Chain A
Amino acid sequence: MANKAKNTEFKIERESLGIKGVDEMIEGGIPRGAIIGLSGPPGVGKSIFTLHFLLEGARKGEKCVYINLEEPQENINNMINQFEFSKEFMNLVKEGRIVIKCFTYPEYEKIYSDLFQKIKEDEEIKRIVIDSFNCFFSASFSPESLNIGQEVNIRRMINQAFSMLRKKGLTSLLVLEMQLDKQPRFYYNVPHLVDGIINLDFLELGTIERRIFIPKMRWTNQFKESKSFDINKKGIVVLKEG
Chain B
Amino acid sequence: MVIKNAKDFFINKIIFPNVLITDRPGVIISKTLGIFGNRKRRMIYDFEDIFASLQRETLAELGNGRASDLFYKIGKDVGTQYSFFFSKQKIPTLFLQSFINYTFSRLASVGMSFAKFISFDPKNISLVLEGEENIICRQTGNASMFAGLVSGVLSSLCGENIEAEAKCIDCSKKCRIEANRDISVKYLPSLKEIAPLKNYDSLNFPSKINLPSKLPALNDFYNFKKIIHKDTKFYFKGRVLFFSEANMPGIVAKNYEDNKKLFENATIKSAESLALDLFRETGKTKNKLNYLQGLLSAFGWGVPYYYKRESNQVIFKFLYSPINRYGSLYQALELNGFLNAIFNKKFRIKSLETKYNPVVTEITYS
Residues of A within 8 A of B (CB): 41, 180-182, 201, 203-207, 209, 211, 213, 226
Contacts and interface: CB of A to CB of B under 8 A. Distances in A.
Interface residues of B, number: 24
Contact of B214 (A181, A207, A209, A211): A181
Contacts of A41: 214
B290 A206 contact: yes
B290 A201 contact: no
Contacts of A182: 23, 217
Contacts of B213: 180
A201 B226 contact: no
28 contacts: A41-B214, A180-B211, A180-B214, A181-B25, A181-B209, A181-B210, A181-B211, A181-B214, A182-B23, A182-B217, A201-B223, A201-B224, A203-B216, A203-B226, A203-B294, A204-B214, A204-B216, A204-B290, A205-B294, A205-B295, A206-B279, A206-B283, A206-B287, A206-B291, A207-B282, A207-B287, A211-B224, A226-B225
A25 to B, nearest CB: 15
A207 B288 CA distance: 9
B288 A206 contact: yes
A205 B290 contact: yes
B220 interface: yes
Given A203-B294, A206-B288, 15 more contacts: A41-B214, A180-B211, A180-B213, A180-B214, A182-B217, A201-B220, A203-B226, A204-B214, A206-B282, A206-B287, A206-B294, A207-B287, A211-B223, A211-B224, A226-B225
Interface string B217-241: 1001101111000000000000000
A240 B291 CA distance: 24
Nearest to A42: B214
A175 to B, nearest CB: 18
B180 to A, nearest CB: 47
Nearest to A181: B211
Interface in B231-283: 279, 282-283
A204 B294 contact: yes
A204 B213 CA distance: 11
A41 B224 CA distance: 15
A91 B345 CA distance: 57
Interface of B: 23, 25, 209-211, 213-214, 216-217, 220-221, 223-226, 279, 282-283, 287-288, 290-291, 294-295
Given A41-B214, A180-B214, A203 B224 contact: yes
Given A182-B217, A204-B290, A204-B294, A209 B224 contact: yes
A181 B225 CA distance: 19
A128 B220 CA distance: 31
B18 to A, nearest CB: 23
Contacts of A226: 223-225
B356 to A, nearest CB: 22
A205 B211 contact: no
A177 B239 CA distance: 35
A213 B224 CA distance: 10
Contacts of A204: 214, 216, 290, 294
Nearest to B24: A181
B74 to A, nearest CB: 31
Contacts of B210: 181
A149 B288 CA distance: 50
Contacts of A205: 216, 226, 290-291, 294-295
Contacts of A181: 25, 209-211, 214
Contacts of B221: 203
Contacts of B220: 201, 203
Nearest to A43: B214
Nearest to A203: B224
A231 to B, nearest CB: 16
Contacts of A211: 223-224
A211 B220 CA distance: 10
A203 B287 CA distance: 13
Pairs of residues from A and B, 8 with the lowest C-beta to C-beta distance, nearest first: A206-B291, A206-B287, A180-B214, A206-B282, A181-B211, A205-B294, A203-B224, A205-B291
Contacts of B295: 205
A197 to B, nearest CB: 14
A205 B216 CA distance: 9
A176 to B, nearest CB: 17
Contacts of B225: 226
A210 to B, nearest CB: 9
Nearest to B219: A182
A58 B172 CA distance: 63
